Chain A
Amino acid sequence: MAGSGTAHLRPDDEALLAAEDLVVEFPVGNTGLKVHAVSGISIDVAEGETLGLVGESGCGKSTTGRAILQSPAPTAGEVRFEQRALTSLDPEAMRRTRPRLQMIFQDPISSLNPRRTIRDVVAEPLDIWWAESFPRPVVARAFDDVSRWIPPTLRRVWRYAHYGLPVAGLAFAFWVVSEAVEGKGSEDWLGWTQVVAAVLAIVAGVFLVPFAIVFAAMGLLWLALGILAPITGIPRRIRMLRDRRRHRAEADQKVTEVLDSVGIDTSTALNRKPHEFSGGQAQRISIARALILEPKVIICDEPVSALDVSVQAQILNLLQEMKRRYGLTLVFIAHDLAVVKNVSDRVAVMYLGKLCEVGDPDVLYEQPAHPYTAALLSAIPIPDPNRRPEAAAGVQGELPSPIAPPSGCRFRTRCPRATDRCADEEPQIGAVGEDHYVACHYPIQPGEAVEPATEHPVIVEPTPA
């Protein structure tokens, strides 16, 4: 399964959020190697839908979620939100779009600033955008633009200028030699070493001096703007001060409202710090913070993985309730298949940066077409003391390194069905049923038994007609 392809994507006007051929690669230190976290994922979510994104730890599902939110931006690929491409937006425009796309994190307590009270944490989005409603002076905007423009420009100039460094080094070496020779009193040697040193120094200067000038000029400009910007911003600050009381009252009301709706007792909680809450409560607070800007899409990055099972159920119910109340669209990233089945309208299974299978959860779970999905399902422990867990159930082996993923289908090293074709050719995603897509050369047909043959083989029953 090295699923590439976009056959499973719905037409543009149906998808609220769509990612096409997303690629995220991280460089490994200075070695030149790359971690291929996400390699060609395409998924979409329709409005009001919950997309479940499942996979083992390390398969790139969290990275996909972050890449969709452009934080950090993906290496390649396009992300479309409301039919507008996010990937081609400039940073400022992207920042203005962010209130509509929110995220909930896995670790509830560390996603809240430990030095702030809950009231401040949940009110922060409102504070941010209230401050934004006061336009900043020209100088401040110029400072931002200049700050953003300087590093790439310096980098570009340095790429030409840095050759001056070895030349300067050589010039220095020759100068040292000439000084040494001077002591010895050998006229010809002295003459030409000095000349060479001088010439090299001039060449080095040609490379380096412009850079030094550019650097100094930019530095001075940046400093000047940096000092002027806060000064010219004083009138704006005064205006903000005057409006502060009204804003605070309004914000407090909204904060109380949203905290109540997520089930936090506002009469006692508002002035507490995050570490004074339990994991479940902290996750509720995170959800409240994500909801307060009334986003359209919330990406939930393993929101219940760190919680007790009983609390998981509460949070999942809360998410469903909030989805209904606020009209949300969710992308639910998890590694727990049972949880994902409960919550999702559509499930996508990922493996090592690629997509395996996409489809309706009921269909997927009854009739998995991809060997990986089938293996994952067989690994779900069944709470029945009469059934013994199969030694051969589940996926054997370990996840290959994302730095050097297997050729062709990335699952072939652990797949019981792999052949040579799987090593040579990367499977493209294609339909195997109504709204059921798989990327495999040998998808499991309905009625087939899934290897390895065991005492209790997983038989995929054909759906009754």
Chain B
Amino acid sequence: MTETLRQTDVTEPTELAQIETGLEIPPPERSLVTGRKRRFGFMFWLAVTFLVVLLFSAFFANLLPINDYDTAFSGRSREGPTWDFPFGNDNIGQDVFSRTIHGARVSLIVSGVATLIGVFFGGLIGLITGYFRRTVDAVVTSMVDLVLAFPALILALAIILFFDSEGESRMFWLIVTLGLLSIPPIARIVRASVLTVADREFVQSAHLLGARNGRIMFREILPNVIPAILSYSLVFMAVLVVVESGIGFLGLSVPPPQPTWGDMINKGRNELEIAAHIALFPALVLFLTVLSLNYIGDKLRELFDVRESFL
């Protein structure tokens, strides 16, 4: 059993090292705020801040002192960023900043809820499949593989257009479709994680104590699987943001007047030479959102991996 040190367990290694090697090894970074070893680093908290600010603004978009997203300010067509309009105006004169924030609502809600659906059902399926194996595994895995064989974007578009060709309840159908499509990959990941945990001895001992299968699954296996799933789901949410924007770019996301990032980028495409800011600002915010989600997901995964390896 190799034992690796948890970061918080490192107390005074540097003095010893200096005595033995004579090298100047700098002491571990200490956070100015808490005095404890810095676990996450500056970039992590920057990403968290960005996301929190974005979430906050998107949630309270209607209450914020920003312009209406569909007011066409006459005479301001294709104006660049100014003090009054931080992201400039688009070809009709609408405030790009305000539209970006309102667009964030669609992206975040769709990707967030779809991820939640995927994690809930995919997690259940993965848990059951990974625990029971044999027949259940064979059946469910083949169904999962079947869905995964289809190109996701095309399947999503097909479903959306089939059920909601008018665009009346596009948000609902987007969430449902992306949620359904995210179940198989998440189920696969959860299943893999469950397989590694289910063979561990504490699961066997719970079984020998007389615990029911359900109890073993939800009280022994699940708590050990959740950290990995948590970090994966953040990364997955980033993917869904991109997918939703892709669908929006094709013009099939929530229809106007609701702004969506994909739609804004699409409309801004024609203006790239004269007024690039119309497409670039939503693209930038999209980029930063995805980057932040990925980064946070990665950092969390690192954190939880360290704990796992100690065992």
Q: Do A and B bind each other?
A: yes
The verdict on A207 contacting chain B, using a C-beta distance below 8 Å, is: no
Shortest distance from the beta carbon of A314 to any chain B beta carbon, whole Å: 20
Please determine whether B208 and A71 come into contact, CB atoms closer than 8 angstroms.
yes
- A129 close to chain B: CB less than 8 A: yes
The segment from A42-50, A98-106, A375-383, A442-450 that touches chain B is: A98-106
Q: Taking the complex as formed, is B271 at the interface, i.e. its CB lies under 8 A from any CB of chain A?
A: no
Of B132, B135, B224, the residue contacting A155 (CB under 8 A) is B135
Are B201 and A111 within 8 A (Cβ)? yes
Among A190-213, those with CB < 8 Å from B are: none
Which of A110, A125, A151 contacts B209, CB < 8 Å? A125
B135–chain A nearest beta-carbon distance, Å: 4
Q: By the criterion CB–CB under 8 Å, are B135 and A71 in contact?
A: no
Cβ of A113 under 8 Å from chain B: yes
B30 located at the interface, meaning its Cβ lies under 8 Å from any Cβ of chain A in the complex: no
A457 is an interface residue with CB less than 8 A from chain B: no
- Residue A21 at the chain B interface, CB threshold 8 Å: no
Which A residues from 278 to 292 make CB contacts under 8 A with B?
A: 286, 289
A339 to chain B, nearest CB (A): 20
Task: Report the separation of the CA atoms of residues A71 and B139 in the bound assembly, to the nearest whole angstrom.
Answer: 24
Q: Which one of B135, B202, B212 lies within 8 Å of A113 (CB-CB)? A: B202
B75 at the binding interface (Cβ < 8 Å): no
Nearest Cβ on chain A to B140's Cβ, whole angstroms: 11
The A-contacting residues of B in range 45-89, CB under 8 angstroms, are none
Asked if A69 CB lies within 8 Å of chain B CBs, one says yes
User: Of A98, A107, A125, A129, which one neighbours B201 at CB under 8 angstroms?
Assistant: A107
| Contact, CB under 8 Å: A103 / B205 | yes
A137 CB to nearest chain B CB (Å): 14
B202 touches A71 (CB 8 A): no
Quick one: which of B210, B220, B224 contacts A129, CB cutoff 8 A? B210
- Contacts A71-B208, A113-B220, A129-B210 known; A151 to B134 CB distance under 8 Å? yes
In the complex, the answer to whether A275 meets B205 with C-beta atoms within 8 Å is no
**Interface residue? B206 (CB, 8 A):** yes
**Quick one: closest B residue to A114, CB to CB?**
B311
**Which residues from B are CB-within-8-Å of A115?**
223-224
Per-position binary interface string of chain B over residues 187-223, scored 1 when its CB falls under 8 Å from any chain A CB and 0 otherwise = 0000000000000111011111111100100001001
Instruction: Known contacts A110-B200, A110-B201, A111-B202; decide if A151 and B208 are in contact (CB<8 Å).
Output: no
Residues on A with C-beta less than 8 A from B215 are 128, 131
Residues of B in contact (CB 8 Å), total 25
Residue of A nearest to B201 (CB): A111
Find out whether the CB atom of A71 lies under 8 angstroms from the CB atom of B204: yes
A69 to B208, CA, bound (A): 8
Q: Is B310 an interface residue (CB 8 A)?
A: yes
Chain B, range 103-138, C-beta contacts under 8 Å to A = 132, 134-136
CB distance from B56 to the nearest CB of A (A): 32
Residue of A nearest to B136 (CB): A151
B1 CB–A CB distance under 8 Å: yes
User: What is the CB-to-nearest-CB distance from A250 to chain B, in angstroms, rounded to a whole number?
Assistant: 18
Q: Mark B132-176, 1 if CB is under 8 A from A, else 0.
A: 101110010000000000000000000000000000000000000
> B residues within 8 A CB of A132?
210
A393 within 8 A of B: no
**In the complex, how many angstroms separate the beta carbon of A236 from the nearest chain B beta carbon?**
13
Complex formed: what's the CA distance from A111 to B220 in Å?
A: 12
Known contacts A114-B224, A155-B135, A275-B311: A107-B212 contact under CB 8 Å: no
Say if the beta carbon of A112 comes within 8 Å of chain B.
yes
* Residues of A close to B132: CB separation below 8 A: 151
Q: Which of A99-152 contact B (CB under 8 A)?
A: 99, 101-103, 105, 107, 109-115, 124-125, 128-129, 131-132, 151-152
Query: Are A128 and B209 in touch, CB under 8 angstroms?
Result: yes
In whole angstroms, how far apart are the Cα atoms of A99 and B220 in the complex?
A: 18
Cβ B209 vs Cβ A124 within 8 A: yes
B-chain residues with CB within 8 Å of residue A110 when the two chains form the complex: 1, 200-202, 311
**A96 within 8 Å of B (CB atoms):** yes
Whether A103 and B208, one on each chain, are in contact in the complex, defined by CB atoms closer than 8 angstroms, is yes
Is A403 at the interface (CB under 8 A from chain B)? no
A293 touching B135 in the complex, CB below 8 Å, given contacts A107-B201, A111-B201, A111-B202: no
Beyond A151-B135, A154-B135, whether A112 also contacts B202 by CB under 8 A is yes
Enumerate 9 A-B pairs (CB-CB under 8 Å) in ascending A order: A71-B204, A71-B207, A96-B210, A102-B209, A110-B201, A111-B204, A114-B307, A124-B206, A306-B1
The 6 A-B pairs of least Cβ separation, nearest first, read A98-B210, A151-B135, A111-B201, A113-B202, A125-B209, A115-B223
